[in-house]
Amino acid sequence: MPSKGISVYSYISAEGYEVEFNVPKNSVRNTAADNFTSKDLEVESSNIEGLGHYTGRFEWKAFDPEGNNVGSKYNDINSLTGKLEAGSMTSTVGDLFCKPAYSRVLAKEKQAEFAPIVTEAVIITFGFYDAGHGEAGLPNRDQCYVTICSTSNKAWMGAVAPQGSPQAQHPFSRFVLAAPHDNGMNSMQQADAVLSSVDSDMIGELRKMIPGLHHFPHIPDEALVHMLPNIVYGVSITQKKQIPVMLALGARYFEFRPAKLLPAFQKVSKLPDKFYFQHACIPGLAFEDFLNAQVEFLDSNPTEIVTIHIRYDNIVKECKKPTEEEIHEALNSACASAQNGKLTWGHRECFSKPIDTLRSTGQRLIVVIMAEKYDSWTASAYATLKVDPILARFESMNTAGQEATDITVLQCQATSQSIKEVLVYSVLSANAATSCLTSTKGALDMQTLPWIRANALDRLQAEKTIVIMNDFIDGATTDTSIELSRRRLGMDSLSDSNSVPGQGAMGQDREGQEALVQPFQEASIEDKEKPIEDSAPMPGRFD
C-alpha cells in the first residue's frame, strides 16, 4: 500500500520532558534516553480511514513532567504522492512561503510556523523537511527534529563560572561557544524587499553576483526573476530565530558580515541606507538591529559575555563595507544604550583576560575583525549530504593547529547547496519546507555533536576559544557548548582533559555517545597532514 516515511529525531535536556511523534495508528515517544538517535514512522494509506483517502496527519507533541502538552505542530501528508497537503510546518522561515518554481507568493499567515515555542521553563526548537523521492542523493523520507532545553541557558556562563568562583578566574578562552551559522540570514524580509523590485533588465548583473545563479544559464531572464526568492531561500536562509532567542538558547559567538546594499538594489528598494548582513549581495539583518539586540541581552544578563566576529568573506566588491571607525561608532552607540550597568566592548586581548575581570570592568562584548581561525570547514569536505567528510575534518584537527589563532571552529552543518544537482532540484521542485539546508539537520547533528562531546577536549587542548557552529541553532548545539565549557573550566590545566568525565545532564551518557561515533573515528583521512583552511564559509559558496 502507498506510504510516506518520516525519520524523527529529538534532543531533550530539560528533566522529565518527553516528545511524542504520531502518524495514523502509530506513534513513538522519546525521552532524554533517546538523544542522538533516530526513529522511523510511516504514513500508510492502509491506516487512513475512508475509501480513497490517502492524506494522514503527522504530528509531534511535547510534554512537561506533569504530562501537560506544552507545544505541538503537524503536517498533513499525502501517502500516495508524498506531498504536504497542509499543516503548521510547511515553511522553514516565517515570512516566506515559496510555491514551486516560477511563482512568488508571500503568506503572512505563515509567520509563526517555525518560531520556537518558549515557556517559562523551556525553549522548544523544531524543523521539518518535505522529502521527494531521493533525487540528487537527498533523503527520500521526510525529516523532523525537535529539541527541548531549559530557559536557564540564557545565563549559562554565570552558572558554569559563577562570579567569585575559581572557574571565573580562568581566561575567557576556556569557554566553548555555540554559534549560529550566518546568524543574520534568519529572515527573508530584507531579501524580499529588494527582490520584489528586481526586473529582467537587472538579471544579467545579478547572475554574476548571487550564489547559485550560474547553475541556471538555460532559464530566460524573464523566468529567472520569478525564481529568485526560491534560489535565495535555498542558498541563504540558515537560521529561523530572532537574535534574542538565539541568545536565550545559549549562543555566544556571532559572525557578522556588514555592508551596504548593492547599488542596483539601493535604486529600486525602499530599505534604509544602512549596513546589513550580506550573503554575497543578499541583505539580511541590519547591523544596527543586531548590535542593539546583543546589548539589550547583555544589559539584562550581567554574567554573560558575547563575542562578535566581523568578517567580509564573499561580499561582492560593489557593496560598501564599513570602515573600522564606522564599526567603532556603531559599537559605542549600541553600548551606550545599556541602562543597568557599565557595558563596553574590547578587542582580542579579552580572550586572555579572566572571566571575572571582564565582568567587573563591564567589558562583556568582545569584537574581532577578520581574525584568523582554525576552522574545520573546507569547500570540498562540506559539499556533502553525508556526515563522513565532516567527521574526517574534525579528526584531522589537533592542538598544534590551534596555536597560531585565537579561535577554533568546529562546523556541524553541511553546505549541500554547493552541490549543483542538490541546489537545482531544491529550487525547481521544492516548496518552502524543502530547503536542502534542512534535509540533513537532524541526521548530521546526531553524529557531529556526540563526536564533539566525546573527542573535542582531548584533541584540542590549547588555551584557545572553541566554537561549535551550526545551522538552525538549537538546544542540542548550545547544550554541547555549555557542557564542554563546564568541563574545561573545571580543569587546572587543559591537558587534564583526558581525566575529566562528562558531568551533568549533558554528560551522563558519554559512553553511549562514544559508541555511537566510534565507527567514524576509524575513517581514513587522506589529507590529515594538510593545513586547515582558514575560511568563513557561506551557504552558496561555490569554489
> Model confidence over 52-109: pLDDT tens digits?
789 999 999 999 999 999 999 999 999 999 999 999 998 654 433 333 333 333 333 3
Query: Is residue 262 within 8 Å of residue 276, measured between CB atoms?
Result: no
- What does the pLDDT read at residue 393? 98
Residues 7-58 have pLDDT tens digits of 999 999 999 999 999 999 999 999 999 999 999 999 999 999 987 789 999 9
In the three-class reduction of DSSP (H, G, I as helix; E, B as strand; rest coil), residue 14 is classed as: coil
Residues 415-448 have pLDDT tens digits of 888 888 988 888 776 555 667 888 999 999 999 9
Q: Would you give the distance in Å from CA 119 to the centre of its chain?
A: 21
Query: Is residue 187 within 8 Å of residue 94, measured between CB atoms?
Result: yes
User: What CA–CA distance (Å, rounded) separates 19 from 32?
Assistant: 9
Q: What does the buried/exposed string (b/e) look like for 165-177 if buried means 16 or more CB atoms within 10 Å of the residue's CB?
A: eebbebbbbbbbb
Q: What cell does 351 get?
A: 580572550
pLDDT tier at 516, thresholds 50, 70, 90: very low
- What does the pLDDT read at residue 56? 96
Does 111 have pLDDT greater than 80?
no
pLDDT tier at 518, thresholds 50, 70, 90: very low
pLDDT tier at 186, thresholds 50, 70, 90: confident
**Residue in the structure block whose three cell numbers are 549562543:** 251
- What does the pLDDT read at residue 534? 33
pLDDT tier at 188, thresholds 50, 70, 90: confident
- What does the pLDDT read at residue 496? 60
pLDDT tier at 396, thresholds 50, 70, 90: very high
Helix (H) or strand (E) holding 107: none
User: What CA–CA distance (Å, rounded) separates 313 from 375?
Assistant: 14
Q: Between these two residues, 539 and 133, which has the higher pLDDT value?
A: 133
DSSP 8-state symbol, 454: H
Residues 463-496 have pLDDT tens digits of 999 999 999 999 999 999 999 999 999 987 776 6
User: What CA–CA distance (Å, rounded) separates 210 from 427?
Assistant: 14
User: What CA–CA distance (Å, rounded) separates 145 from 353?
Assistant: 38
Query: Is residue 98 within 8 Å of residue 233, measured between CB atoms?
Result: yes
Percent of the chain with pLDDT over 90: 67
Query: Is residue 351 within 8 Å of residue 406, measured between CB atoms?
Result: yes
Q: Would you give the distance in Å from CA 462 to the centre of its chain?
A: 26
Mean pLDDT of 264-287: 92
- What does the pLDDT read at residue 92? 53
Name every residue whose Cβ is closer than 8 Å to that of residue 117 and which is 6 or more positions away in sequence.
62, 70, 71, 123, 124, 126
- The residue type of 432 is A
- What does the pLDDT read at residue 495? 66
pLDDT tier at 506, thresholds 50, 70, 90: very low
User: What CA–CA distance (Å, rounded) separates 424 from 433?
Assistant: 15
Q: Between these two residues, 174 and 198, which has the higher pLDDT value?
A: 174
